[in-house]
Amino acid sequence: MQYFNLHTHQFKNQEHILELVNQYPQEFDQTITNYSIGIHPLFIDENRLESDLEILEQKAGLPECLAIGECGLDKRSETSFEIQLEGLKRQFLLAEKFQKPLVIHCVHAFQELVEIKNQLQITVPIIIHGFSKKEQLAKQLLNNGFYLSFGRYLLVNPELESVFNNVPENRFFLETDTSDYTIEEVYALAAKYKKITVTELQQIISNNFNTVFNK
């Protein structure tokens, strides 16, 4: 593995890239070799939440499943926040049951996210994907044990450079999500910001991968 893509919706199956491909219960593709599976807060359907959670539990125990997610909280969602909270708590508990890390989507609900983690005493690693916020929030999340993953916002928002540089090397990942940027482009800029070589960055993220995913 030369590159690890923490979160992508596009399965390219390139030999030099380990992709953690996002899957949803109702659209599961068994040909994908390494995946995360979760119920996204924008797409929660209260009428099928139970059946989605059943599928999620079936797939989460398979060795190809590396993480639960993306799941989370999003105050833009038309789904009631109470239903989102219920769905997230149950996915947190599944992650604990299977000892799989969590990939989190969070919009305007970081305080609630921290509270749920602490309330349920979650011990598995939790990664905030697509982080694009300010340093104060980054510090709060890091202090509460979260990991941060950076992707396209790192490339389009120069203000993220200082935020990214202040994240300890053992607490971050890189990703592409749904963007057209390649993981190589994200690594190149991240290495430039950290003032290290891409090879050194690859080793850092490989170490983080081994720690978080027990590989």
Q: What is the mean pLDDT of the segment spanning 71-81?
A: 95
Q: What is the pLDDT of residues 82-136, one digit of tens each?
A: 999 999 999 999 999 999 999 999 999 999 999 999 999 999 999 999 999 999 9
Q: What is the CATH number of the domain that holds 186?
A: 3.20.20.140
pTM: 0.97
Q: What is the pLDDT of residues 139-162, one digit of tens each?
A: 999 999 999 999 999 999 999 999
Which residue, among 114, 90, 108, has the nearest Cα to 38 in the 3D structure?
Answer: 90
Which residue, among 12, 13, 58, 17, has the nearest Cα to 37 in the 3D structure?
Answer: 58
Number of separate domains in the chain: 1
Residue range(s) defining the domain that contains residue 127 = 3-213
117's tokens? 């983690």
